Structure 1
Amino acid sequence: MVYRMNYRPETVFRGTPPGGGAMLRERYFPERKVVLISFELEDESDYALEPVKLFSKYGVKMLSCIVQSHPDRGAIHASLFLDLTDSSIDKFDLLRELKSLRHVKNIELLDLPFTHGEARLVVFTLEEMHDLFKVLRELGGGGLAIMYHMGFRAGEAIAARLSGYFENGKKALEYLLLYYESLGHGRFKLKSYIDGVYCRIVVRELVECIDVNSDKPNSQIFRGMLAGFLSKLWGREVKVVEMKCIAKGDPCCEFEAKV
């Protein structure tokens, strides 16, 4: 189940700028104090009440929100863009108060100069995503290479943004997986991590492999994204291999990354 809401969407884009997509790279309201919060909550019916009450109490505006929940998971994942400009609380106290709420299991806050392309969350259904993937797969090896390099470039860009924000590479990777899970890309678990050398990640319900039948590992986009992210983060060329894949009948997708 996916929920999406935007606060005053008419204020996000005021017309189309010359060059069309150029605005995607411009600062997202540079005069505003916008932060991104990603967190994991216990799957209880009232999980949203306390955070919303907290935002109302301090005048925190919710610009965009995506929430992922499923009846058999026992956890809820969410990513929210919040505007603290006119609020009566700073980001440190807000994070502290959110951590103290009874249903919050894990939470991270990013205070970065977001661009329009990063701060506007867009939702596709799983079927729509699979239609896009199918077109590229039908191109054969060239299409698969495009998917891999799309992921690789995206991973490099994300790592460049996050590398100086977290205290170490493991924390940055854990945040990335938490964020991607909140967006519905899959259920991620970092099983092993040796900084700059090796990591192993298990993914359940990886979006590009669900309902795909294949005699070989199927992931290109996530595998590429992970390779790009870790190569940038570790400063060395990283090779990522999908050891298991739900597309070929395995219970999960499993990735190993090595230098």
Structure 2
Amino acid sequence: MSKKETTPLSLGRVILGQNVHGFFVRTKAEPGVMARILTAAAKFNVTIINIYNSTPTKRGGSASFVVFYDFSEAMASPQEVRKAMEEAVENTEVELLEPILPGVVANTKHYPLLLLGERAIIFREAVLRGWFVGIRRRFGTGGEAFLYYEGFEAGQEIFDTYTKLGISPHDLWAMFCVALIAIGGAKDMKFEIKEGGMTLRIWENMECCLGRGSDKSFSQFLRGAIAGFASKFFKANVIVVETKCIAKGDPYCEFEVTIA
């Protein structure tokens, strides 16, 4: 895989499958601990469907992770696998995550979800479509204005958060790009700061993906977020225009930021 290639990431909060069982593991953060626990389970011919650990912790501290296994060809029961995982490492506790519905297992043990130290929530495409598309359908240009100013306020809050985290002024836009990609809002993003403003190019902007087939540039929320962030960065009022948009067939979304 080249550096530019990507692969989808399933967050694994909810897993579907008739023979799937989840395990919530509490243990210690030491080299090789997770490997020993997973090796103990692998001896029973179970297949990992999804696995992830919580926020990184200091070596020697407490740690937790969740793993979902397919038991279709397992040589032991979930209870036997749980016991083997616990016995693999001293002071390890393993809780079996029972299906909440037939064929549905969910991780309800890791709460709240955190991103950069703040509580976060996951929205699927169906919810975002109702947010970004439905409000336009219901309120027209008024809905578009609402989305823009929601984004504007969010952009200013994001700028303040990055400043509090100690991100240097030189790296603020790079952090904006990295965060947008990391949360799934875009596939890639590049920017160029120049006299009087800047240019941003964004590939697979989630908001505009939902508007494909439009006869005009579609972004309002992200355009507002860029404007809010840029107004703090440049310490001035700015105008943000989406000059290219994937919603109307362009290869990427392009935003021109001009200091007013």
Question: 2 CA distance for matches of 1:117 and 1:175?
Answer: 12
Alignment of 1:100-111 (within 5 A): none
Structure 2: gaps spanning 5 or more residues? 1-7, 14-28, 34-52, 62-113
Identity %: 28
Structure 1: gaps spanning 5 or more residues? 7-54, 60-79, 90-114
What SS does the aligned partner of 1:155 have? helix
Question: 1 CA distance for matches of 2:201 and 2:184?
Answer: 15
Alignment of 1:1-259 (within 5 A): 1-4=8-11, 56-57=30-31, 82=55, 84=57, 87=59, 119-138=118-137, 139-163=139-163, 165-169=166-170, 171-194=171-194, 197-212=196-211, 213-259=213-259
Question: 1 CA distance for matches of 2:175 and 2:134?
Answer: 31
Q: CA RMSD in A?
A: 3.0
Question: 2 CA distance for matches of 1:198 and 1:157?
Answer: 20
CA positional deviation for 1:117: 10
Number of residue pairs the alignment of both structures matches = 165
Residues 190/116 of structure 1: CA separation in 2 closer, same or farther (3 Å cut): closer
Structure with more relative contact order (C-alpha pairs < 8 Å, separation 6 or more): 1
Which stretches of structure 1, 4 residues or longer, exceed 3 Å deviation after superposition?
86-89, 115-118
What SS does the aligned partner of 2:250 have? coil
Question: 2 CA distance for matches of 1:174 and 1:117?
Answer: 15
1:84-131 deviation per Cα after TM superposition (whole angstroms, max 9, x unaligned): 3x5459xxxxxxxxxxxxxxxxxxxxxxxxx99963332222233112
Amino acid at match of 1:128: V
Partner residue, 2:21: none
Report the TM-score when normalising by structure 2.
0.56
Residues 176/56 of structure 1: CA separation in 2 closer, same or farther (3 Å cut): farther
Partner residue, 1:14: none
Amino acid at match of 2:176: L
Larger Rg: 2
CA positional deviation for 1:191: 3.5
Question: 1 CA distance for matches of 2:245 and 2:235?
Answer: 28
